[in-house]
Amino acid sequence: METFGTQFDLRPDEAAQEIGVRFRNLEKKQEKILQTFDQSVDGYYQLCRKVHAILYRDIIYNAGQFRNSSDPSGGNVYFGGNDPRTMKAKFTGTKPDLIELELSEAFAILVDKKYSPQETSLRFYAEFVAIHPFYDANGRIGRYIIDIYLRQYQRYVDWQSVKESHKKFMRKLNYCHSVRTKYKQHLYQYNLSSTSYSKVKAYWEAVREKYIVYLVNFWEQFIKSNDNLEDIGEIL
């Protein structure tokens, strides 16, 4: 909102309050959304944009749109606070031109049955936050998609416990972001035909996997089972 301003003369605090109200209303509609949306890569892609559009409609002009290279600062976004050694932002979101590609890869994690629902939800969330497709509400939207995904398995995230363990969780998540950044940098700087490419790729995949598994083991304590899905909205 600081970058693009708000519409209808809304003050930033008024806009933030309205966004909070809209998000709580969306939480109450999770069961309906689960029953109607297509649980495919494209379905999650559309859901992602739809949630952002609902939250920011009539507040900012680019509601429901990903960061774009034609935006101020080339559409780049920084997050994670500043590194005390360099005083620069710790992490940079995916370059705008690669957002759709990397989001498709992230949503494919939700569709693939390779991992347990608990592990799948964490692997997706780590990717989504790192991509940072929007300027704001990436955490909220990522959590919302996880909630929708887990409902079909009669599970939910105890977000209150996550909040209470925020510093520890974020520290572990940031480790994953750091390794992911190095992993992506090496992938993009090496030519695919290079003989060393496969070795470098394998090395960074192994390092990244180590930290992801480390975070998954921590994350699983926050996943709860609930046979009565009608009550989950109240729990969240």
Question: Using CA atoms, how far apart are residues 198 and 203, in angstroms rounded to an integer?
Answer: 9
Higher-confidence residue of 86 and 96: namely 96
Residue 84 above 80 pLDDT?
no
Q: Is 2 within a domain?
A: no
pLDDT at 82: 80
Q: Are 41 and 108 in contact (CB under 8 A)?
A: yes
The whole-number average pLDDT for the span 25-34 is 92
Structural domain contains residue 1: no
- Is residue 112 predicted with pLDDT exceeding 90? yes
Say what the pTM is.
0.88
CA distances from 157 to 110, 142, 236 (A): 16, 12, 8
75: Cβ contacts below 8 Å, ≥ 6 apart: 67, 68, 69, 95, 96
The first and second tokens of residue 218, run together, are: 């921590």
Q: Is residue 73 part of a domain?
A: yes
> So what's the pLDDT on residue 233?
42
Task: Please check the confidence at residue 188 and state whether its pLDDT lies above 70.
Answer: no
Give domain status of residue 3, yes or no: no
Q: The domain containing residue 22 runs over which residues?
A: 12-235
Please give the tally of structural domains in the chain: 1
Q: Is residue 100 part of a domain?
A: yes
Which domain CATH number covers 110?
1.10.3290.10
- 180 located within any domain: yes
Contact 80, 129 (CB under 8 A): no
